[in-house]
Amino acid sequence: MPRQSISLAGPLGTAPPEPAQQPLPVEAAAPEPMAPASPDYASMYAAVEDGGHALPAIPFAKVDGRFLRQIVNDPTGEKPGTLVVNTTEKYLYLVLEDGKAMRYGVGLGRQGYSWKGRAIVQWKRKWPTWTPPSAMIRRDPKLEKWRQGMQPGVTNPLGSRALYIFKDGVDTLYRIHGSPDWKSIGKSASSGCVRMFNQDVMDLYDRVPGKTPLLVI
């Protein structure tokens, strides 16, 4: 009896089933780059209770956006932790890591800074007392009543925080401080100190220790 061959093709006369085709993989689209998050200025400049004082909100929408607190590429070349005051552009930079800096708008004196160079923040104070120097009282005798000091508060010219600037171990009498007059930021007015929004100087105060190096350019 002839041997019957066994076919792998299935029943006689039918072709083997074709393997099911797998769908071609779909290449995932590259994710859209995320836009950097906009600063939450409403929170940054909101009214705040601090140390028993009620600071009003800063109407940030009325402020030139250049002078609002923001992280920028560091233009100073200084080491991280250094403060740099640019008297021409009216910016204060706190140099951060990775080539970045926190930039704050500032106000300066009518005549600008009378010196430039390196100094340090010798110490810092919350809700400081303001004592006008004798030379300031001579220029404006109405300040005589504050010769022994003006108590802390929201109308105090030093605002919510003050950082005291020393050069070669000597008090320069200059301060980095808050201000009750938000409209003065970005302008030249008052004496010669570096004025900031109260909310900004509070932020800076928490970021820098005493003996922080300072460069004024």
**pLDDT per position as a tens digit, 189-204:** 766 789 999 999 999 9
What residue has token string 């072709």?
15
**pLDDT-derived band of residue 19, with 50, 70 and 90 as boundaries?**
low
**pLDDT-derived band of residue 137, with 50, 70 and 90 as boundaries?**
confident
From 44-48, 91-95, 137-141, the region with the lowest mean pLDDT = 137-141
CA-to-CA distance for 194 and 91, rounded, in angstroms? 10
* CATH class of the 41-216 domain in this structure: mainly beta
CA-to-CA distance for 162 and 195, rounded, in angstroms? 9
E strand intervals along the chain: 48-50, 53-55, 70-73, 83-86, 91-95, 100-105, 117-126, 161-167, 170-179, 194-197, 212-216
- Write down the pLDDT at residue 9: 46
- Write down the pLDDT at residue 29: 57
Overall size of the chain counted in residues: 217
86-127 pLDDT, tens digit per residue, is: 999 999 999 999 999 999 999 998 765 567 899 999 999 999
- The token duo for 138 is 């001579």
Q: What is the DSSP string of 54-72?
A: EEPPP-GGGS-GGGS-EEE
**Total-model pTM:** 0.79
CA-to-CA distance for 71 and 95, rounded, in angstroms? 10
**pLDDT-derived band of residue 170, with 50, 70 and 90 as boundaries?**
very high
CA-to-CA distance for 99 and 101, rounded, in angstroms? 7
Please name the residues in contact with 147: beta carbons below 8 A apart, sequence gap of 6 or more. 131, 132, 137
Residue bearing the bigger pLDDT, 196 or 32: 196
CB-based contact 192:174 (threshold 8 Å): yes
